[in-house]
Amino acid sequence: MNRPLSGVRVIGLEQYMAGPYCTLLLADAGAEVIKIERPGRGDPRRAMPPFAEKNGIKKAAGFMGYNRNKKSIALNLQTIEGQQIFRDLAAKSDVIVENLRPGAMDKIGLNYDNLCRANSRLIWALISGFGQLDGYRGPYSNRPAFDIVAEAMSGIMHQVGFADKPPSWTIYGMADIYTGMVTAYGIMQALFMRERTGKGQLVDSSMFDNMLSLNESMVALHSVAGQSPARGNPKVLFPRGAFKTKDGYIALNVPDNIIWKRLCKAMNRGDMIEDARCTTGVERAANADYIQPIIENWLLYLTREEAVSKLNDCGVPTGPVNTAEDIFSDPHVQARGLLMTIKDHEVGEYEFARSPLFLSDAPNIPTNPAPSLGQNTLEILTDLLGYSETKIEALGQSGIIDSQNKPMTTPKN
């Protein structure tokens, strides 16, 4: 039985996180993903710590985790010959995913407008900081961006942290990961439309757009109520946040009066249900200084496990604030198979996060390790493009391709 995207060929003009995570999802879904990398260097994440190391070979954890189930071709796109190889690949592919600096491919004439002429079914997903689709370009469209920039400009950072502290970012790469997921969703839409029309199209995915859409609650609150949510200053609901127990923290959220009554009963504080300071979310938020110490004092006599069990039994959805060690030992994580074991014959066996969706009628996700730089160059040029041995040898000698079948190593300090 095939995975959902078996038979779909994807070219990854990708680096760092957003593009690679998008194509990771497609590869896990069964697509053949061919990652294009610079000869000699490859994706910059190949050289970013931390590293798995064995027998003098070093591989970057971030690269290993985001590039499983892919192929690698090392190709110099700054040469006429390299550009022709890319055109040949595009003519035989279904999807191209690009997250290079805006305009990088335009400068060498390798963009959707040019390549769709030879392959009208081609879908080109263009990931950028601020959007590239003609007719929807804004004053920021030519800017480069990293994840933290998108978090800041979308209003998310303004809401993360405490009122007496500077704005804070969420987790490293949040905007990249979410953009990768949204882009994969856009590609699925384009593939579905192609089944109806026979034509491909450009998928324009902006990190800023994606994070603003993720911040929909801020938009709605400001639009409807004129409010501007700020960090550490709840206005419409409380309690919400991390609360300390005897041995760690739990996450607690009380969005309505139903959950509030259940929390009060769990704490044996039925008197607070009708307390004028606690009757609505707005009142509870205004009186957080009164309510929070009561919850904290109650929790100080309970362990995380005891608090989570008691609250969930009372109908208050609650969970522990887990560390990495907690995740790796969590029985639910193990039962769901959320950590994939990837065996790399050069640096060993490691676990990485599984793609989050399960399909009842699809086989398990493959577990091929991330490719070494140029590992599949010969295979792709020979089997897919039909290049002769003589031509491939000439391309290699001129530095247009790299067909080394060993991992890229990084110098030791």
Query: CA-CA distance, 161 to 297, in Å (whole number)?
Result: 23
- CB distance 97 to 187 below 8 Å: yes
Banded pLDDT at 58 (limits 50, 70, 90): very high
pLDDT attached to residue 236:
81
The residue type at 19: G
CA distances, 270 to each of 259, 260, 265, 300, 311 (Å): 13, 10, 6, 19, 15
Give the residue-averaged pLDDT of 243-265.
96
Query: CA-CA distance, 142 to 130, in Å (whole number)?
Result: 8
Banded pLDDT at 408 (limits 50, 70, 90): very low
Evaluate if residue 288 carries a pLDDT over 70.
yes
- CB distance 18 to 179 below 8 Å: yes
Model pTM above 0.85? yes
Banded pLDDT at 412 (limits 50, 70, 90): very low
Average pLDDT, the chain: 93
- CB distance 241 to 252 below 8 Å: yes
From 94, 147, 176, 344, active-site residue: 176
Evaluate if residue 409 carries a pLDDT over 80.
no
Q: How is residue 88 written in tokens?
A: 């040949």
Banded pLDDT at 404 (limits 50, 70, 90): low
Evaluate if residue 91 carries a pLDDT over 50.
yes
Evaluate if residue 156 carries a pLDDT over 80.
yes
Residue 124 has what DSSP assignment? E
Q: Is 144 exposed, middle or buried (0-12, 13-18, 19+ CB in 10 A)?
A: exposed
Give the residue-averaged pLDDT of 330-344.
96
Query: CA-CA distance, 352 to 350, in Å (whole number)?
Result: 7
Ranges of H-type helices in 168-320: 174-197, 207-214, 216-225, 257-266, 281-286, 288-299, 304-313
Evaluate if residue 142 carries a pLDDT over 60.
yes
Query: CA-CA distance, 233 to 163, in Å (whole number)?
Result: 6
Nearest-10 Cα torsion for 324, 325, 331, 337:
50
Give the residue-averaged pLDDT of 29-54.
95
176 a catalytic residue: yes
Helix axes 207-214, 174-197, angle to 10 degrees: 100
For 222-238, b where at least 16 C-beta lie within 10 A, e where not — what string?
Answer: eeeeeeebebeebeebb
